[in-house]
Amino acid sequence: MQNMASRTFAITGASGNLGRAVTDVLVASGANVALLDRSAHPPTVGQPERVLACPGGDLGDPTAIGAALDAASGRFGSLDGLVTTIGAFAGGGTAPADGWSIWDTMLTANLRTTVAAIQAMIPRLPASGGRIVTVGARPGTAGAKGLGAYSASKAAVLRLTESVAEELKTRGATVNCVLPSTIDTPQNRRDMPNADPSRWVPPEDIAHVIAFLLSDAARSVTGALIPVYGRA
């Protein structure tokens, strides 16, 4: 496990399955965390002195996110990085009956929230560089049947990550993206009862990859799109 003592990281979508796993791994490594979430009831963490809950904010609004980041800096004295775990999944998007709503939903949940968080984070990056980790998905690397809107929204996150990595590399900041396949969550087990969840990726495994990317050990890694596919 990486040693993150005295570091502070913000996590968007903190009440989701992956957000909770990232929170647990970072707190266990000694980091402080700011939990940004639309939910009014962010997750409970065993070491509350190292956690700042920022519930109820609009995660598509850079100004609202910036206010939460400033609160984190004020509480912990620094802000070292950002993890954007918020997102959503829906199939479809290419049938005439789908209309625009599914595209708007996927682009808002997966792309707009990532753009807004990065826009808020860039002017608040530390002089030493800082870290940004986004969350893509395997379908973002290639189109998949029935997943037009979702695949396109996640593909946009990948190109965004690469672009921001190029923009920030002279400042010493790193920007990387993890690409999970199907994550082993209660919702996915419920929605796919005939699948084999042992082939899926546990959220904590993804969280440990994210923790590595936030650490000093990954200081020379930027612009990377890292598959975390499990046995799928």
Mean pLDDT by 10 residues, the chain (232 residues): 86 94 95 87 69 86 95 94 95 85 95 97 94 97 92 97 97 97 89 90 96 96 96 78
Q: Is the pTM of this model over 0.85?
A: yes
What pLDDT score was predicted for residue 41? 57
What pLDDT score was predicted for residue 46? 66
Per annotation, catalytic residue among 76, 89, 103, 150: 150
Give yes or no: 229 in active site: no
What pLDDT score was predicted for residue 119? 98
The 10 Å Cβ neighbour count of residue 97 is: 5
The burial class, CB within 10 Å (0-12 / 13-18 / 19+), for 63 is exposed
User: b vs e for 99-131, b when ≥16 Cβ sit within 10 Å of the residue's Cβ?
Assistant: eeebbebbbebbbbbbbbbbebbbebbbeebbb
What pLDDT score was predicted for residue 88? 93
The answer to whether residues 123 and 78 touch, using CB atoms and an 8 Å cutoff, is no
What pLDDT score was predicted for residue 93? 86
Instruction: Return the H-helix or E-strand segment holding 52.
Output: strand 51-55
Helices 17-28, 203-214: axis angle to 10 degrees equals 50
What pLDDT score was predicted for residue 117? 97
The answer to whether residues 110 and 158 touch, using CB atoms and an 8 Å cutoff, is no
Domains of the chain: residue spans and CATH? 8-228 (3.40.50.720)
- H helical segments located in the chain: 17-28, 62-76, 101-106, 113-121, 148-168, 186-191, 203-214
